[in-house]
Amino acid sequence: MKNASPETTRVGWIGTGVMGLSMCGHLLAKGYDVTVYSRSKEKARPLLVKGATWADSPGAVAGTSDVVFSMVGFPADVREVYLGPNGVLASSRAGTIVVDMTTTEPSLAKEIYDAAKARGDVHAVDAPVSGGDVGAREARLSIMVGGDPEPVAALTPLFEAMGKTIVRQGGPGAGQHAKMCNQIVIAGTMIGVCESLIYGRKAGLSLETMLSSISGGAAGCWALSNLAPRILKRNFDPGFFVEHFVKDMGIALDEARRMNLPLPGLALVHQMYLALQANGGGKHGTQALMLVLERMSDTKIG
């Protein structure tokens, strides 16, 4: 199995949302021949203008591609894209590699892997990402990969066009388990960022000055550098949707229950995000957790 290259590899891309649009754009910029499908053709327009070819279904993408990527919303979407009657696996040819970059259930990643294997020489890889909209735009994503070593190695040039940290975690589903670890950390970090800003406001600090100090110390992290400034500007636009984060935390809690593993911190933050979603915040970015904490503390930031 040869490594992917613009000269020999036709790429399919399914899903052109906040993340997928930028990620696919990097592959086009590297010179790959890309066929794209999205539920809304208009969302794919920027890619079509740059030279991508439109397909009318996930199966149509697979029928003309050597490697098929997907970046969609929810496990039900992933299932439809891969296992539906007009899905990717129904039309994949021998030698095709299919790569789901959606954050979804590890068990579903394994199911897709098994279904691909049953078709013969079709290889399925799970490769969820971390880094948000900024990481997607700047091709600095962390990509957590699960799958067999040979197809994962063949995908390396494609992954390198989208990310800076590419690590194979193990077999099918291992990438998704690693992403659950990532989301558990983000959940705890996000509540810490928000509570620190509320504490700073109550204490009478300049929040910008406070952030300039703690961002360079042991508290420094991606959320503090990228999302805290958005909160101060009351910018709750999505780099990553609340409704998708709620889905991810739910998957992690379900997996933890199967392992008889208590995760009380994650369970608390999950409940707070559920409250945010119930109050119409599902399309906000994850930094909108501040809206819940502001109501609880009777303190407004920004």
Taking phi first (over 0 means left), then psi (-120 to 50 degrees means alpha), and beta for anything else, what does residue 76 get?
alpha
Task: Report whether 6 contacts 31 (CB < 8 A).
Answer: yes
The partner residues of 165 in beta bridges, in order of sequence, read 142
What are the per-10-residue average pLDDT scores of the chain (302 residues)? 93 96 98 97 96 98 98 96 96 96 97 95 97 93 98 98 98 98 97 98 98 96 95 95 96 97 98 98 97 96 88
SS3 261: coil
Q: Which residue has the tokens 């400034």?
A: 229
pLDDT digits (tens, 9 = 90+) for 283-301: 999 999 999 999 999 999 9
The kind and range of the H/E element at 59 are helix 58-63
Q: How far is CA 240 from the centre of its chain?
A: 8
Q: Which CATH architecture has domain 178-297?
A: Orthogonal Bundle (1.10)
Whether 179 is catalytic: yes
| Structural domain spans, the chain | 10-171, 178-297
pLDDT digits (tens, 9 = 90+) for 100-148: 999 999 999 999 999 999 998 999 999 999 998 899 999 999 999 999 9
Marked catalytic residue, from 41, 179, 233, 247: 179
In CATH, 10-171 is 3.20.20.100: no
